[in-house]
Amino acid sequence: MPGASKKQNPNKTLASSLKKLEEIVEWFNSQQEVDVEKGLEKVKQGVELIKFCKTRLSEVKNEFEEIKKQMEEQEQDLLKMDEYLE
């Protein structure tokens, strides 16, 4: 439906998406002759999985950067406390 919001599958993870991508590749590799319609559907599924993986990897990277920033700020606070106590 155009304009309808896409529902995110709560069980969708990087691991499950990568597994599904592997299955798609295996499917293509196992075909003597690829049915064009089935092949097109597999390619579309693969594109959606890749988009999800790229988005999720970006989110994870941002989360790690935020944690790193927080740790650095805490370290600076501890150093200031040490200097004060000396």
Instruction: Give the pLDDT confidence of 1-35 residue by residue, as tens digits.
Output: 344 434 456 578 999 999 999 999 999 999 999 89
Number of C-alpha atoms within 13 angstroms, CB side, residue 20?
18
pTM: 0.70
Q: State the DSSP string of 31-71.
A: -SS--HHHHHHHHHHHHHHHHHHHHHHHHHHHHHHHHHHHH
What is d(CA 80, CA 8) in angstroms, rounded to the nearest whole number?
A: 45
In the predicted model, what is the mean pLDDT of residues 37-62? 97
In which band, very low, low, confident or very high, does the pLDDT at 55 lie, cut at 50, 70 and 90?
A: very high
pLDDT value for 18: 96
Q: What is the token pair recorded at 70?
A: 């927080």
User: Which has more pLDDT, 38 or 1?
Assistant: 38
Q: What is the token pair recorded at 58?
A: 């970006």
- The rounded percent of the chain whose pLDDT value lies above 90 is 72
pLDDT value for 5: 39
Extents of the domains making up the chain: 14-28+36-85
Share the mean pLDDT of the chain.
Answer: 88
Q: What are phi and psi of 8, to 5 degrees?
A: -80, 135
